[in-house]
Amino acid sequence: MKDLHHNIKTVQTLDPALTTASRAGAPVDRRGFEAVEHIAMFGASGDTLSGSVKTDVKLEASEDGTNWSPVSDAGEVNGGPVSEAGVFATVDSTSVDQKEYRIGYVGNARYSRISLVLTGTHENGTPTSAIAILGAAHVKPAV
């Protein structure tokens, strides 16, 4: 049996919270790992979602962990596509909330993160959180 437990590291990037405004996840430093998978999780929205009340899930990358750019090149992701703005998922109806959305970053930047970009008025909010899974550790067990 293969051992996954000692070969990955998880990082909570967005604390579980009722989200009513845009927020950016914590930077994920890929140093010491060859792979990173970002996962955003959504609960049931307290608002009526539509094209004008929605959440875009955006992938961003950085060389220094401070200056961020959207990841828009399909060759830098697994599980895309991504838009020119880096958006890889849009939660705009009840048929697409209460789900998880994931994307792998395979670009060259050392840091990556996801951001939740809210459009419209989100008075009641949506429970959201995000984690990153780092894999293919250079040194094992991964910590």
- At 141 the pLDDT is 84
Domains of the chain: 5-137 (2.60.120.380)
Beta strands in the chain (DSSP E): 8-19, 23-24, 28-29, 33-42, 54-62, 69-70, 77-78, 87-91, 100-105, 111-119, 126-137
Tokens 């990358």 belong to 61
pLDDT digits (tens, 9 = 90+) for 104-136: 999 999 999 999 999 999 999 999 999 999 998
- At 1 the pLDDT is 60
- At 116 the pLDDT is 98
Q: Is pLDDT at 13 greater than 70 in this prediction?
A: yes
pLDDT digits (tens, 9 = 90+) for 14-53: 999 999 999 999 999 999 999 999 999 999 999 999 999 9
- At 21 the pLDDT is 98
pTM (2 d.p.): 0.94
Q: Is pLDDT at 140 greater than 90 in this prediction?
A: no
